[in-house]
Amino acid sequence: MNRISLDNVTKVFNQGRPNEYAAIRGVSLTIEPNKVTCLKGPSGSGKSTLLSMIGCLSRPSSGRIHLGDQMISGLPERFLTDIRRHTFGFIFQQFNLIAGLSVIENVILPAYPLAPDHQSLMMRAHELLARFELDHKADSQVQWLSGGEAQRAAICRALINNPQILIADEPTANLDTKLSHAFMGQMSQLRKLGKTVLITSHDPVVFDSPVVDSVVELLDGSVFLGEEHAA
């Protein structure tokens, strides 16, 4: 199980230019494995920027990020891509499902670069869809799904490569309260399966949820306060 640790991480956009902006300023924190952690903070506080560095989608300007014993912050792009594909599953705010493709086609997309056997891939995709009560929509085009169905399709897609760590960026932003609670229930199930879950949110349904083990609060690119919830 891999603990994620950040040591004095910064991210500066447009470095050396007049519009230089330090979005993350010396963040040190630890994200425990097999827990649900929420990064909380107002719009522009740096949540997505931090998440993208943790998920190997971008690199820090300075500081170190470790995944278990491995330092990932200085790795070349091709190694980062490899770690990203094998370690992380992503759920985005708008779900980023591809219109014109069916639910099952969307779900299996992240598995293509890893080139698994097609039959076992389809089996795995149907198992995931069944787990999230969506198998009856496997062949429907994603643009016709309801908000909750689209969200569950996005969760299945994030899980198709069986990642250890699930990253969700403002996953409840487009959902009503009932669906947001349902989402937290699904995250609780994933923790029971041994996954590490990292969510950014300024939605109290998320950060006040009993499902969340730990809240890290960001303000202007710095950690404001850490708060432990009873697990």
144 part of the interface to ligand ATP, by CB under 6 A = no
172 part of the interface to ligand ATP, by CB under 6 A = no
Supply the DSSP string of 47-73, one letter for each residue: HHHHHHHHTTSS--SEEEEEETTEE-T
Q: Which is nearer to ligand ATP, 45 or 209 (CB)?
A: 45
Among 4, 36, 49, 165, binds ligand ATP (CB under 6 A): 49
Q: Which is nearer to ligand ATP, 23 or 103 (CB)?
A: 23
Asked if residue 85 lies in contact with residue 160, where contact means CB atoms within 8 angstroms, the answer is no
Among 9, 36, 37, 47, binds ligand ATP (CB under 6 A): 47
41 part of the interface to ligand ATP, by CB under 6 A = yes
Number of residues this chain uses to bind ligand ATP (CB under 6 A) = 13
C-beta of 74: minimal distance to ligand ATP in Å? 20
Q: Is 193 left (phi over 0), alpha (psi -120 to 50) or beta?
A: alpha
Q: Which is nearer to ligand ATP, 21 or 144 (CB)?
A: 21
Asked if residue 145 lies in contact with residue 103, where contact means CB atoms within 8 angstroms, the answer is yes
79 part of the interface to ligand ATP, by CB under 6 A = no
Q: Which is nearer to ligand ATP, 37 or 48 (CB)?
A: 48
What is the arrangement of strands in the sheet containing 36-40, beginning at the earlier edge strand? 88-91, 165-169, 196-201, 36-40, 214-219, 222-228
Distance CA(202)–CA(38), nearest Å, equals 9
Asked if residue 160 lies in contact with residue 124, where contact means CB atoms within 8 angstroms, the answer is yes
Contact residues for ligand ATP, defined by CB under 6 A: 13-14, 21, 23, 41, 43-49, 202
